Amino acid sequence: MAILVFLSALLVFQAATACNVPGGLLQAAWGLIEDGEIEPFALVLRNDILSNSGSDGGLYALGATFTAVSELSWVRPASACAHANLINANVNLARHSLGRDALSAAIDGYAVVLAQAAENFRLLGQTCVLPSPWPTLDNCCGDYGRIYQFEESWDLANSASSVARCAARDLYTSFGARANNVGAAATSAATSPALAIFKGIEGELISLLKAATSKDCSRNLRTETGLLKAAIFRAADEAKNSLYCRCV
């Protein structure tokens, strides 16, 4: 009986983290940013993610690619507070010391960042240089999201995501703010709330990446962006509802 319970739990875990990303799509998504514009540690992260983008690690690879490339697309570093807040919330949730309001705020803030990432990919799909305004430097977390519970959060990550841990640590401890943001994006993407959201938006996200990497400047690119943004906020609400039972 114990073996059956273990196997059932294993199958549920694999189903939650598995993702069928079309071959070459994630590499093409990273290719929207020229290699010369990417910090060395971020290139290592890219290679680690792409090398583990098969079925088991596909969901993390999809989400980490989406958020990391978005951070790289800014003409100056953005704030990483939303990433840091989600990372800290994930750790505190595991410690059973997180309230519902704090969880809701962290997931809502992360959803806003994901929605902006959708817009960034729309613009990257239209041009090689992101022609957007500089990001607002929100400092609601007090340090622009540079300091968070890095090791504690990765200790909670599943094995399919952990391949990126070393590169993410190098980015976390890097002197460059842009590199720090990419590390925060890679780390937050491995949290339980983030993976739940990515699972809920998998189809819409893949559709947008296909449109952006094909440089589809038609109305279809705008449509896919709108569909993804709607799916993000819907999935964020579902993630909150599924995790509230773990709050104090």
| pLDDT tens over the chain, length 248 residues | 444 433 344 444 444 556 778 779 999 999 999 999 999 999 999 999 999 887 668 999 999 999 999 999 988 888 999 999 999 999 999 999 999 999 999 999 999 999 999 999 998 998 766 555 667 778 888 888 999 999 999 999 988 889 999 999 999 999 999 999 999 999 999 999 999 999 999 999 999 999 999 976 677 899 999 999 999 999 999 999 999 999 99
Distance CA 139, CA 70 (A): 19
Short-list 239, 16, 208, 247, CA closest to 109: 239
Whole-number pLDDT of residue 21: 83
Number of H helices, E strands in the chain: 11, 0
Short-list 190, 101, 196, 178, CA closest to 152: 190
Distance CA 128, CA 89 (A): 35
Whole-number pLDDT of residue 4: 42
Whole-number pLDDT of residue 131: 52
Whole-number pLDDT of residue 5: 37
Are the beta carbons of 178 and 39 closer than 8 angstroms?
yes
DSSP 3-state assignment of 70? helix
Q: Is 203 exposed, middle or buried (0-12, 13-18, 19+ CB in 10 A)?
A: exposed
Whole-number pLDDT of residue 215: 79
